[in-house]
Structures are given as structure tokens and as C-alpha cells.
Amino acid sequence: MMLTVTDLTRRFGGFTAVSRVSFNLEQGEILGLIGPNGSGKSTTFNMIAGMLRPSEGSIRFQGEEIGGLKPVEICHRGIGRTFQIPRPFRRLSILENVVTAAYFGQREDIPRARAFALAEEALALVGLPTDPAAEVASLGAAGLKKLELARALATQPKLLLADESLGGLDETEMDQAAEMLGRIRRDKGITIIWVEHIMGVLMRVVDRVIVLDHGEKISEGLPREVAADPRVIEIYLGTERIAFGEDGVA
């Protein structure tokens, strides 16, 4: 197993945002993590990536316990993440943003030329310009998402945590995002956990799905199994067309 999460729990005061969540991830898998707003998806990511310390439970990555390590330590072990709300350095160019990630994302110092090469490769993979003059201000919502991905990729992760759940992408952009994650796995062999709050496009790309609701794992399985699970249908009832897509992915 690449990642083994056991009874992961996070409380904020008296409120439990993630409650005894357990799952495994095998090398090369794309796992979808879905659930309504506030169900604990980003909190789960933030514990795996070290932004939040687990209240309880264990996170083992490649056989080593990483729960409670600092974000930089986790990054250096090979976990890259994107932020749900993009947070680029707005005064740096697109290329400089990714070079910075490439440089600080490695366990050891790398030469400047190597950082540029990694950045250019990551930008090409997501389809953003490698031109040093290209500005962050030129990017729309979809472009900023791609920049987040490029920054995560430039750290050379073995596991990528992609928090894509944000409105603001249209159908075509969602399709492109899905295609891109598929390509990242295929070309780079990177294992992926993909977070979304809607199911539509995600269901076509992922191998397996986990559904969170109120911080608890309520369903897990193949996309078609999960989409047919009465507990999942119940949560998404009322947003059924969005959840399953017009053509009914279920």
C-alpha cells in the first residue's frame, strides 16, 4: 500500500470535522474523494499534507507514519498537494511560481537550471505557457487551477492530492481537468487523490470513490457502485442532475 489512513479524526473545539476515516491507496490508483460542502474533504487533505495535525488516527505513507509532520517534511517525502483556493505568488511570473515550488520541493538543493527544467516540464504537462514573461494576472479560474497543479507537480510527488472542488469551472474545463489528471498518472506514474463535491466528470476517471458526509466515510467502491448506493443518492438528492451529470453517469 502506498497510503494507509486509519481512524483519522480531526476536531475543532467540540466540533468533529473528520471522524474515524479509514482508507487505503495503492500505487498508481486515482481515488475520488467526494462529499457535500463541509463534509471534511479538505480537512482530510490538510491532515495528510501536514497543514493540520490529526486529533487521532494514523497516516502511513510508504510504510512510514507521517501524521503530525510539517508540510515541508511531507512534501519532501513525496506528497504534493493543490489548494482548493489557489494561492499563487501574484508578483512572480507563472514560471517563477513553479520554479519556486521546484526548488523548495526537493529534499536536497538542486541547481537553478534543474529547477527551471522541472518547472518547464510541469507547465507543459498542465498546458500553461513556459514563457518567462507570462503573468499570473493573465490566468482565469481554470488557469489558476492549472498553476496549482503545476506547482504541485514541480515538487516531483509520488502522490498528488488535488483539491479541485470549486465552482468556477465550466463543463469543458472540468473535462480538461479530468483528462489532465488521467494524463499525469499515465505519463508520470503519479498516484492521485482527487477531491470534488460533484460527481459528474470525476466518476469517469477515478478507479475508486470514497464518499464523506459530516466527516464520516459513508460509502466506498467502484464509481458505478457508489453512484447506486442509496446513502449516496440520498445526500445528493435534489442536486441529482449535477451529481450524476445530464447523461446519468450512474
Ligand X SMILES: Nc1ncnc2c1ncn2[C@@H]1O[C@H](COP(=O)(O)OP(=O)(O)OP(=O)(O)O)[C@@H](O)[C@H]1O
List the interface residues with ligand X, window 80-139 (CB under 6 A).
84
Q: In sequence order, what are the beta bridge partners of 221?
A: 209
What is the amino acid identity at position 41? K
List the interface residues with ligand X, window 149-168 (CB under 6 A).
165
CB atoms near residue 148 (< 10 Å): 24
Among 42, 46, 156, 191, binds Mg ion (CB under 5 A): 42
Please tell me the distance from the alpha carbon of residue 52 to that of residue 47, in angstroms, as a whole number: 5
Question: x/- site string to ligand X, residues 176 to 205, per CB under 6 A?
Answer: ---------------------x--------
What is the amino acid identity at position 225? E
Using alpha carbons, list the distances in angstroms from residue 100 to 84, 119, 163: 19, 8, 20
- Of 38-46, 88-96, 183-191, 222-230, the window that binds ligand X (rule: CB under 6 A) is 38-46
Site membership for Mg ion, residue 191 (CB under 5 A): no
- Of 28-36, 40-48, 72-80, 119-127, the window that binds Mg ion (rule: CB under 5 A) is 40-48
In the complex, minimum distance from the CB of residue 160 to ligand X, in angstroms, rounded to a whole number: 17
Asked if residues 43 and 49 have their Cβ atoms less than 8 Å apart, the reply is no
Q: Which helix (H) or strand (E) holds 80?
A: strand 79-81
Site membership for ligand X, residue 145 (CB under 6 A): no
Q: In sequence order, what are the beta bridge partners of 33?
A: 195, 210
List the interface residues with Mg ion, window 49-108 (CB under 5 A).
84
Residues in the site for ligand X, rule: CB under 6 A?
A: 12, 17, 35, 37-43, 84, 165, 197
